[in-house]
Each structure stands twice: as C-alpha cells, then as structure tokens.
Amino acid sequence: MVRPVDYACHGEIVFVLVLNAGSSSLKFNLFDMAKETSIAEGMAERIGLADGSLTFVFESDKHKEVLPLPTHREALHAIIERLKAVVLHDTPIHAVGHRVVHGGPKYGDSLIVTDEVLADIDTFAMYAPLHNPANAMGIRVAREEFPDVPHVAVFDTAFHHNIPDHARTYGIPYELSQKYGIRRYGFHGSSHSYVAARTAILLCRPLRALKIVTCHIGNGTSICAVHNGRSVDTSMGMTPLQGVIMGTRCGTIDPSVVEMLMEYEHLDYNGITDLLNKKSGLLGISGVSSDFREIELAADAGNDRARLARDLLTYNVRQYIGAYATVLDGVDAICFTAGIGTHSTFVRAKVCSKLSFLGVKLDPEANEHGTGERIISTPDSRVVVTVVPTNEELMIARETVR
C-alpha cells in the first residue's frame, strides 16, 4: 500500500470537507471533528444539464437554487463560494475526505491521495464503471481547489477487504479470476461498519463479541455478515450489481439471461450495462418507479407489479439474513439502515415475519413508532433488531482524521 510522506500533519485535523461525487451529482458535508458535528452540507445535482441545482443546508436553513452547472468543476466552485460566504471566512479546511466506490484488489484501507492512487482509482473503473470515474473527477477538481491540504480516499470496498476466499471466489477458471481481479469486493462499507458499531452500543455489548447482520436498504441495497466487527460476507459482488434487487439494478440473476438478452434484443456492452443497472430492479419490475415510496403507494392501491417488486425486495433481504445466520453460525442482532431500512415499517415487519426460527420477535409498537436509533424487538427476542440511520459522511470524516 502506498503511504505517501509529502503531507506531514503538524496541526490537528479539525475541519474536514467530505465529498461524494456521482456521475451527475456532488454531495458535500463540512465537519467540525472536534465535536463530530456537521457545520454545513448539501448537494449539487443535474451536473451537465441546463438546469443544475444546488441545495445548501446551514444551521437548519435549507436553500435551493437553480443554476447552470456544466461540469463538476463549476459545481465545486459554486459549493465553495457558498461555504466561503457563510462559514469558511474564518474556518480553514484541514483535509478533504472523498468517497471512492472501488479500491480494487489493492486498497484495503483509506489512504492519502497521490498521483499514483488517483491513477489506480481510474484503473479500477474497470470494476465500477458507473462510479469510479466520477469519484476520480471529484478528487481532481478538489485537489486543484485545495492544493495544500491532504485528500483522503475512503473506499466502499475496504470494510470487506478481508472476507475469506471461499466467500469471495466466483466459480470461473481460477487463472482468470487472478488475472483480472474478478471476485466479490462488496460495497457500502462505511455504512455497514458504522451501523454495526452503533448496534453494539445499543446492545451495550462489545462489537468484537457480536454476530450482526446489517441490512443497508436504499436505492442501492446490500446485506452484510459482521463477525466481531469484521465483514465476513456481503451480498454485492465485484460490482454493486449483485445481490438483492435495488431501485434500478437487477441484483443476482442467471448470467445466461445476459447472453440471451444481448442476442435477442441486439444489445451491445453499453446497452446491457444500461439495462441491468438503470432499467431493472424495482423500476423494471413495477414499471412504476425506482422510488420505494411510490412503489408502496402503488402496491397499496392494488398494482400487482408494484406488489411483486415489493415482495421480491423483502424476500431477497430475508434470504440473505437466513444465509448469513449460517455463515455466522447464529445471529445476535439484525440492523436496518438506509432510506428504506430506516423508514419503511412495512419492509422491516415483512422481513422479520418469517425469522421466528431464529428467535426474532419484532415489537410492532416500536417498529411503527419512534424515530432515530432504536431497538425494535421485544425484550425476550433472542435476536435484537435495531434501526440505525446510517452516517457514511461521518465515517469518511473519521477515516480522514485517522
């Protein structure tokens, strides 16, 4: 691993800007790490389109403006201008933390970005073509803008770096796996590690003595088996396409479906990638939306395809919990997080309804009511069920300081 020596931290790292660059969006969050609080946050959206927008939240005031944001460079400039106007005039930025989706076979830990690291992030776009190029672009623009501070790459894959060979090897010729680094990597690492640690705190037990299944259910969904604080298996694979069905991603399918669709629908590489990543999942099955709130409304109104999409999501999550109960040889806790996991009482109830064989007893009152971090199982439930809103940005800021 590359450990560059050109940044020596002489002072304390207090003010950390966290950036999460997507293909057409740039999320930011400025943290005061002395208190671990967010000072300002927001998001530039629709970058590259005529009607870009910038949302800026400062001291609970939310402003949204529509403005042209031709590239990520203009978006970051606009963000920095707003930050300077309200916060930055007397707040220096000590470091910038970047979410990077894929660290490839090489990076199992966060690290300071050098030219070599940036080149590797470009190379690992072979595993995450929809994410790494945007992440690298965000880093390039931010390094130009803040040339004198360390930039830290925090990889989604890092938490899963040490899952055992038998859990990450695909059944293809071994030489090809080795040649191309084809294997399970896993994603949402910052989220799984954060919510597992918070679950241990809710249980008042040490993380290093717990078996937890963490369920990150949002636009992207992944389930993780966490043993003694370490990921030992996870549902996403070499790319974030594998596993549970998601908003627009297909999840696990028979690879022969890919060949068949390419042949009969005359799809090339880009066509099939687009279909499986952007037109499938909840959207593709329901024909309604990728947004789960709209799926729930349509399903409740009697739309059969929306019901099917909703049922498939909860069924997939249950399948993984069952599988990981075996992987972990028992479960102490199940944690729900991300947009759907945190907010959908229906999904949690449906997933837990067929886990009685594990000794899961959901408390319907606690599931329906209450907000924030909490336990939603009954006191006599053998497995504790928790809800923990995730905080990936804080994890990235922590990693940046570390």
Active site residue 165: no
The number of beta carbons lying within 10 Å of the beta carbon of residue 1 is 8
CA distances from residue 169 to 161, 177, 188 in whole angstroms, order as listed:
13, 8, 19
369 part of the interface to ligand ADP, by CB under 6 A = no
Taking the C-alpha atoms of residue 333 and residue 375, their distance in angstroms, rounded to an integer, is 10
382 part of the interface to ligand ADP, by CB under 6 A = no
340 part of the interface to ligand ADP, by CB under 6 A = yes
The set of residues, in sequence order, having a beta carbon less than 8 Å from that of 20 and lying 6+ positions away, is 26, 27, 28, 98, 99, 138, 392, 393, 396
339 part of the interface to ligand ADP, by CB under 6 A = yes
Give the nearest distance from C-beta 155 to ligand ADP in angstroms.
17
Q: Which of 64, 84, 208, 293 binds ligand ADP (CB under 6 A)?
A: 293
Residues present in the chain in total: 402
CB 336 within 8 A of CB 215: yes
Taking the C-alpha atoms of residue 121 and residue 136, their distance in angstroms, rounded to an integer, is 6
Q: Which is nearer to ligand ADP, 80 or 288 (CB)?
A: 288
Q: Which of 33, 207, 276, 338 binds ligand ADP (CB under 6 A)?
A: 338
Q: Which is nearer to ligand ADP, 150 or 218 (CB)?
A: 218
Taking the C-alpha atoms of residue 270 and residue 288, their distance in angstroms, rounded to an integer, is 24
Looking from the CA of 358 toward its CB, the CA atoms found within 13 Å total 30
Query: Two tokens at 168?
Result: 């990450």
Taking the C-alpha atoms of residue 18 and residue 28, their distance in angstroms, rounded to an integer, is 6
Taking the C-alpha atoms of residue 14 and residue 92, their distance in angstroms, rounded to an integer, is 9
344 part of the interface to ligand ADP, by CB under 6 A = yes
Residue whose Cβ sits closest to ligand ADP: 339
Q: Which is nearer to ligand ADP, 27 or 183 (CB)?
A: 27
41 part of the interface to ligand ADP, by CB under 6 A = no
43 part of the interface to ligand ADP, by CB under 6 A = no
Contact region with ligand ADP (CB under 6 A), list: 57-65, 78-86, 138-146, 291-299: 291-299
Contact region with ligand ADP (CB under 6 A), list: 27-35, 67-75, 259-267, 340-348: 340-348
Size of the site for ligand ADP (CB under 6 A): 12
What does 112-157 look like in DSSP terms, one character per residue?
E--HHHHHHHHHGGGT-TTTHHHHHHHHHHHHHHSTTS-EEEEETT
Give the nearest distance from C-beta 252 to ligand ADP in angstroms.
18
Give the nearest distance from C-beta 339 to ligand ADP in angstroms.
2
Q: Alpha helices of 216-328 — where are they, by DSSP H?
A: 255-264, 269-278, 281-286, 292-300, 304-327
The set of residues, in sequence order, having a beta carbon less than 8 Å from that of 234 and lying 6+ positions away, is 160, 163, 184, 186, 187, 192, 222, 223, 224, 225, 243
Q: Which of 150, 247, 251, 284 binds ligand ADP (CB under 6 A)?
A: 247
Give the nearest distance from C-beta 36 to ligand ADP in angstroms.
21
Give the nearest distance from C-beta 221 to ligand ADP in angstroms.
8
Q: Rule CB under 6 A: which of 133-192 touch ligand ADP?
A: none
Helix 72-86 vs helix 132-145: crossing angle, to nearest 10: 50
Q: Rule CB under 6 A: which of 200-219 touch ligand ADP?
A: 218-219
Q: Which is nearer to ligand ADP, 38 or 219 (CB)?
A: 219
Give the nearest distance from C-beta 238 to ligand ADP in angstroms.
19
Give the nearest distance from C-beta 293 to ligand ADP in angstroms.
4
343 part of the interface to ligand ADP, by CB under 6 A = yes
Q: Which of 32, 41, 291, 373 binds ligand ADP (CB under 6 A)?
A: 291
From 90, 122, 156, 274, active-site residue: 156
Residues identified as active-site: 156
Binding positions for ligand ADP, rule: CB under 6 A: 218-220, 247, 291-293, 338-340, 343-344
